[in-house]
Structure 1
Amino acid sequence: MANHKSARGSRLAGSVRGVLVAGAVAAGAVVLTATPALAQPINIPGVGAIEIPGQLPAAPQSPSAPSVAPAPLASSHGTQALRAAESKLGSPYVWGATGPNSFDCSGLVQWAYKQAGISVPRTTYDQANAGSPVSKNALQPGDVVLFNGAEHVGIYQGNGRVVHAPTEGQPVKSTPVDAMPFYSARRF
């Protein structure tokens, strides 16, 4: 008799377990929604056929970001001034020239910002005191960068480069910022 009771208890536990599993499966089928194409019917004895939602395909992965993202632009005026300065790459350096065909360093900065509708002082020393100060580690394209105790100036391009009119015999060009002794930077 003990064996009969034990078997009966096992059957009862199995039935309860089966009902609980069926209930959980049914509840899952109600809670989870799936497209009919992904539903997979399953037959549970004593309950019947129940549709179980299939797994949806994994969402497509976005392409990995480039290892070096372009630096954000400082402002629309800075962007415009930078583009104007870049349009003069290769133009001759002439001391005291303010464009449009030849430049000295501060003349290039003044001319480029004028193209963006911003009035910037003429000399590097005055440019060093205008606009808002910017730390070297916060440089953004279009910022004005001063070198050698404010004796030289250029416009930051991003990615560690500056557009400037270097000196007699060298045209307007792009150079690494660290090629010259950094003094300060300004944002207009």
Structure 2
Amino acid sequence: MPSHKPALLRTTVVAATAAASAFFALAPAATGAAQDTASAAAVTSVVAPAVAPAVPAAAPAAPVVETPVQDVAATTALNPAALRLAAMNTALAQIGKPYRYGASGPSAFDCSGLTSWAFKQVGVTIPRTSRAQSAVGTPVAKANLQPGDLVFFYKPVSHVAIYIGNGQVVHASTSGQPVKISPLANMPFNSARRV
């Protein structure tokens, strides 16, 4: 048996063992667990030299292990926090549009018309009125507000806005005022809900 065959066999076994190790090291990433970029780079650098001798010099080296790319739309559809942020950003994009009582967009809004329209644009259906919206989702304490949460004002509830962070909300406030950002503290807080 010529001397180059054992070397080729040993290289193949080492490459297969390294590839198997890399697969099992990265397998949690395929199930959704977080993957440390540094360890992924380390695994690739260990695997790549072992595989390189088995690949002919003329052929481009193929990646040994690939981390799966997440589908952004699927991730958003399964992630309520991402949907809330998308609804918030949709509402923010309406700043400057006029207030009109009973309007549900897209050219004019009242308070609950803005919130229901913004959530509908990202595939989440909530009731049309502020009072009905105040009963959906889960209650949130004022101290635990997160961007995208619905915030309700007055007793009984008669106004709704979307919390955007830093003590601010986006809302369609009242006649003569366009969709705008206002401090949360400017209105009498009633409650908040997370959908």
Q: TM-score range by the shorter chain?
A: 0.5 to 0.7
In structure 2, C-alpha distance between the alignment counterparts of 1:160 and 1:116, rounded to whole Å: 24
What TM-score, normalized by structure 1, do the two folds share? 0.60
Which structure has the larger Rg?
1
Deviation of the 1:116 alpha carbon: 1.3
Q: 2:187 is matched with which residue: 159, 180, 184?
A: 180
Spell out the pairing of 1:43-82 with structure 2 (5 A cutoff). Answer: 75-82=81-88
Higher helix share: 2
Number of the residue aligned with 1:156: 163
Deviation of the 1:126 alpha carbon: 0.3
Deviation of the 1:93 alpha carbon: 0.1
CA RMSD of aligned residues (A): 1.3
Unaligned runs of 5+ in 2: 1-79
3-state SS in 2 of match to 1:170: coil
Deviation of the 1:158 alpha carbon: 0.3
Spell out the pairing of 1:15-94 with structure 2 (5 A cutoff). Answer: 75-94=81-100
The answer as to 2:110 corresponding to 1:104 is: yes
Deviating above 3 A after TM superposition, structure 1's stretches of 4 or more consecutive aligned residues are none
In structure 1, C-alpha distance between the alignment counterparts of 2:143 and 2:123, rounded to whole Å: 27
Number of the residue aligned with 1:144: 150
Deviation of the 1:117 alpha carbon: 0.7
In structure 1, C-alpha distance between the alignment counterparts of 2:148 and 2:121, rounded to whole Å: 13
Deviation of the 1:79 alpha carbon: 0.4
Can you list the C-alpha shifts for 1:67-93, whole angstroms capped at 9, x where unaligned?
A: xxxxxxx70111010000000000000
In structure 1, C-alpha distance between the alignment counterparts of 2:168 and 2:90, rounded to whole Å: 16
The one-letter amino acid paired with 1:168 is S
Number of the residue aligned with 2:141: 135
Identity value in percent? 52
3-state SS in 2 of match to 1:93: coil
Deviation of the 1:152 alpha carbon: 0.4
Number of the residue aligned with 1:166: 173
